[in-house]
Amino acid sequence: MSAQHEAGAATIHRVVILGAGYAGLSAAIQLASRVGPGENVRVTLVNAQERFTERLRLHMTASGQRLAELSIPELLEGTGAHFERGWVTAVDVNAKTVRIDDERVLPYDTLVYALGGVADTAAVPGVEDHAYTLNSAQDAEVLADRLSRLGRGTVVVVGSGLTGVESAAEIAERHPELNVVLLGRSEPGAAMNPKARAYVRAALDRLKVEVRSGAEVVKVLPGTVEVAGGESVAADAVLWTSGTRVSPLASAAGLTVDEHGRIVTDAALRSVSHPEVYAVGDAAAIRQGYGVMHGTCQSGMPTGVHAALSILRELKGKRPKPFRFGYYHTPVSLGRHDAVVQFTHPDDSPRRLHLTGRVAVRYKETVTAAPWPTWGRMKKMPASGVFWPRGGRFTRVREA
Ligand SMILES: Cc1cc2nc3c(=O)[nH]c(=O)nc-3n(C[C@H](O)[C@H](O)[C@H](O)COP(=O)(O)OP(=O)(O)OC[C@H]3O[C@@H](n4cnc5c(N)ncnc54)[C@H](O)[C@@H]3O)c2cc1C
């Protein structure tokens, strides 16, 4: 990798990071904090909003709770990283530029692609037009407004994955006047051990969430959700949390993507087709010994840190190391007063150990609140960001 851009006598290597979520911010802070004054690396972080979106808390926003104002430019202060607010509309991998808001063009030497993912609203007819999502803070606020004006009515939460469970519980707790129905293919907590799963079910029952498992939603219409087999469920509001979709920008740019549109990476997190592009977080298809990782915050932050370290190694003429990660927990909130934490093996399969009740609530809150102070520490002491579980024998199978 060579520095491209002349600035006076020095050459500047331009690293552009797209997306200031959990993964992109980890990459930006780790990289900018490690770059010394003599290294001539310019880090630019691009994001749609200046306010950090705490995706882990969007179900709280949707049920009418206010979140802290976390400013991305303020967090970057002192690191030397530049913040560019705007919506990325195209990536040109041949010209090595990104287009922002269809008007500005930003050149790069190395790109870090961290645009995340959202619920898949395109898979089932009617979802785009008639369902609410938690795809952004604004979307969650629109749903909160609708719920606050519903009075007595029925909210159908589609998707019995963890986002669906957390959302149904949170809405039921904050709006006891509403009927909340949780519709999905699998049992809530299906990936947990039997005791933890039973705890989730009991908590949902206590909150009077009506759980309908084994349901395949085939259409969403105004006021109704149609389920395979002909059944219809009346709904005054539908929240769609099912599936994952990523931005089409990577595929449109000609980067190699998987069947979900995620950028396929090599062991060091570089695009297999364009090695000057790193892909991290939910937007990347990263293979480990146990399979392709699924997007989470716990894995997204390490991918960002690893990309930053790899870029620095390449700038020093060294080979980047393979990324290794093993999952360790699945913390799930069940409203504000209850939670379950399922501890996992590195491949994300459940261990016997799990926490419930107040201890789990405290654990979940600690984990959810951790990214901001973690980045604050990383600014002062970049090495503090490099500790995460590598997965042991589960990930010890391949070379860079
Ligand atoms: C309600 C909810 C609860 C969750 N709970 C957990 C949990 O408990 N534990 C866990 O590990 N995971 C949880 N997740 C999943 C977790 O939020 C994601 O895995 C994580 O956010 C992925 O991080 P990321 O940096 O890849 O993407 P994101 O955090 O989504 O960040 C992507 C950023 O890119 C920006 N962006 C996207 N497109 C563009 C564009 N074209 N131009 C400019 N900017 C753009 C977005 O605005 C955003 O700021 C939860 C998700 C939800 C919705």
pLDDT given for residue 2 in this prediction: 44
Residue 398 has pLDDT above 70, yes or no: no
Residue 6 has pLDDT above 60, yes or no: no
| Ligand 1 pocket check for 164: Cβ under 6 Å | no
pLDDT given for residue 4 in this prediction: 52
What distance in angstroms lies between residue 32's CA and the mean position of ligand 1's atoms?
A: 21
pTM of the model: 0.95
What distance in angstroms lies between residue 317's CA and the mean position of ligand 1's atoms?
A: 32
pLDDT given for residue 5 in this prediction: 57
Q: Tell me the average pLDDT across 304-316.
A: 97
Q: Tell me the average pLDDT across 189-206.
A: 98
More confident residue, 354 or 385: 354
Lowest mean pLDDT among 131-145, 345-359, 379-393: 379-393
Give the DSSP H or E segment for 377: helix 371-380
More confident residue, 39 or 3: 39
> Which backbone phi and psi does 5 adopt, to 5 degrees?
-110, 125
Give the position, in ligand 1's atom list, of the atom nearest the Cα of 24. Answer: 25
Give, in order, the Cα–Cα distances in Å from 233 to each of 26, 201, 205, 382. 42, 21, 19, 51
Structure tokens at 194: 């039997």
CB 368 within 8 A of CB 57: yes
Name residues whose C-beta falls within 8 Å of residue 324's C-beta, 6 or more positions apart in sequence: 288, 390, 391, 395, 396
Q: How remote is the C-alpha of 381 from its chain's centroid?
A: 25
Give the position, in ligand 1's atom list, of the atom nearest the Cα of 62. Answer: 1
| Ligand 1 pocket check for 134: Cβ under 6 Å | yes
Smallest CA-to-CA distance from 371 within 4, 60, 21 is with 21
Give the DSSP H or E segment for 96: none
What distance in angstroms lies between residue 22's CA and the mean position of ligand 1's atoms?
A: 7
CB 251 within 8 A of CB 260: no
| Ligand 1 pocket check for 296: Cβ under 6 Å | yes
Smallest CA-to-CA distance from 114 within 262, 325, 276 is with 262
| Ligand 1 pocket check for 99: Cβ under 6 Å | no
Strand pairing class (179-183; 209-212)? parallel
What distance in angstroms lies between residue 284's CA and the mean position of ligand 1's atoms?
A: 12
What distance in angstroms lies between residue 229's CA and the mean position of ligand 1's atoms?
A: 34
Q: Tell me the average pLDDT across 89-104.
A: 96
| Ligand 1 pocket check for 295: Cβ under 6 Å | yes
Residue 129 has pLDDT above 60, yes or no: yes
96: left (phi over 0), alpha (psi -120 to 50) or beta: left
Of 56, 91, 99, 301, best ligand 1 pocket probe by most atoms within 8 Å of the beta carbon: 56
Q: Tell me the average pLDDT across 141-160.
A: 96
The residue behind tokens 């939603």 is 217
β partners of residue 229: none
Residue 1 has pLDDT above 50, yes or no: no
More confident residue, 348 or 102: 348
Q: Tell me the average pLDDT across 122-135.
A: 96
Q: Tell me the average pLDDT across 41-66.
A: 97
Give, in order, the Cα–Cα distances in Å from 394 to each of 245, 265, 325, 344, 349. 27, 19, 9, 12, 12
CB 277 within 8 A of CB 270: yes
The residue behind tokens 């589960």 is 394
pLDDT given for residue 102 in this prediction: 80
| Ligand 1 pocket check for 53: Cβ under 6 Å | yes
Residue nearest to atom 4 of ligand 1 (CA): 56
Smallest CA-to-CA distance from 184 within 207, 203, 202, 209 is with 209
The residue behind tokens 């898949």 is 120
Dist CA 212 CA 208 (whole Å): 12
Lowest mean pLDDT among 37-51, 108-122, 125-139: 37-51
Dist CA 339 CA 155 (whole Å): 22
β partners of residue 32: none
- Which of the four pLDDT bands, split at 50, 70 and 90, describes residue 3? very low
Smallest CA-to-CA distance from 163 within 263, 291, 294 is with 294
What is the average pLDDT value for the chain, to the nearest integer? 94
What distance in angstroms lies between residue 116's CA and the mean position of ligand 1's atoms?
A: 5
Give the position, in ligand 1's atom list, of the atom nearest the Cα of 281. Answer: 26
Dist CA 157 CA 211 (whole Å): 10
Q: Tell me the average pLDDT across 39-56.
A: 96
- Which of the four pLDDT bands, split at 50, 70 and 90, describes residue 397? low
Smallest CA-to-CA distance from 296 within 244, 248, 261, 333 is with 244
Residue 7 has pLDDT above 70, yes or no: no
